[in-house]
Amino acid sequence: MKKKVLLGMSGGVDSSVSAILLQNQGYEVIGCTMTLWEQTIKDAKKVCEKLGIPHYTIDCKKEFKGKVVNKFIQEYQEARTPNPCVECNKYLKFGVFYQKARELGCEYIATGHYARIEFSKKYQQYVLKKSREEKKDQTYFLYTIAKEKLEHIIFPLQNYSNKEEIRKIAEENQLTVAQKKESQEICFIPDNDYQNFLKKHGNGIQQKGNIVLSNGEVLGQHQGFINYTIGQRKGLGISYKEPLYVLKLDKEKKEVIVGAEKELYAKELYAKEVNWMVWDKLEKPMRCKAKIRYRAKEAEAMIFPEEDKVKVIFDTEQRAITSGQSIVFYDDDGIVLGGGKII
């Protein structure tokens, strides 16, 4: 009897080709699209019809608004910079979707992410591992998956690193999405104008305040934290004798603190809401590699367990450590140890 897998289908080329690969591996594939915001489902449905597999939709608009969109707004209100894809993976793709698979009697769920899952002799369990192609690796967004779920998750693209290979498979199978453009934006802000989105949906989010130097000298006024990110140089609306960068957003004082670029660098940070993927908790300090944003390079660090958080000390200074973003920990083999939110 074929093993059943529920495949998350967005209508893009990655998830569509995932369906073909799963079929070729002998799985009974069920396509499923979660309606989260205002996306259409016609492309996913068309692909399923072409491949002769059933297609379901799950209405997740309420959960998505509560767990992802509202959290996104709330984080900006708290002067932090959130990562909505991390929340969506945690609560929707590997939460609600995983539960739906169980209800449908599926042994596995699958998504079109670029990452690997394999059994590790070192940890004696299934682990999440970086994609073979560093540029396509998406493990940074996946560290919130509960480790117990890993053996029930398939990433059909885990042996692929080249998007052209994926498009070629789609073309060979005459899928209409073969040359469909990749989506780069936050899915609920398709025009990428998140400031405008926050003005519209965030209550009192545009509180004004002072722009100050790190020594306290007032240089001007800002128009609300939503217009500033840590490390930003352009568009500050002030003039000064040397280039200035955003160093910190102080919610209590309503201040945007600016300074010289060298002040952006630091070696230490704390992270909360940590999810460990290879053990239940960090028992003692250890060395690892860590990255503080999706496009950042991994850097050598020591991590130290604290009561409800973890302390991280890097070997070398990191630029623009940003509260609200994620930090993800890796071992030397590219296995994800865990991750958390930067405080």
d(CA 21, CA 120): 24
106 is an active site residue:
no
Bridge partners of 330? 289, 336
Q: If you search the block for the tokens 């539960």, which residue do you land on?
A: 99
Residues 6+ apart with CB under 8 A from 47: 9, 11, 16, 19, 31, 175, 176, 177
Neighbouring C-alpha atoms within 13 Å toward the C-beta of 66 = 6
Q: What span, in angstroms and rounded, lies between the C-alpha atoms of 61 and 34?
A: 8
Cα 57 to chain centroid, rounded: 23
Cα–Cα separations (whole angstroms), residue 62 to 39, 67, 70, 188, 240: 14, 9, 11, 13, 47
Q: Which residues pair with 268 in a beta bridge?
A: 313
Burial of residue 110 (number of CB atoms within 10 Å: 0-12, 13-18, 19+) = buried
Whether 288 sits among the annotated catalytic residues: the reply is no
- Which of helix, strand or coil describes residue 42? helix
Please name the residues in contact with 291: beta carbons below 8 A apart, sequence gap of 6 or more: 140, 297, 298, 299, 327, 328, 330
Q: Considering the candidates 60, 88, 106, 288, report the single residue annotated as catalytic.
A: 88
- Token pair 């990433």: residue: 155
Sign of CA dihedral 193, 254, 260, 262: negative
Helix then strand then coil, in percent of the chain rounded to 5, is: 30, 30, 40
Active site residues: 88, 187
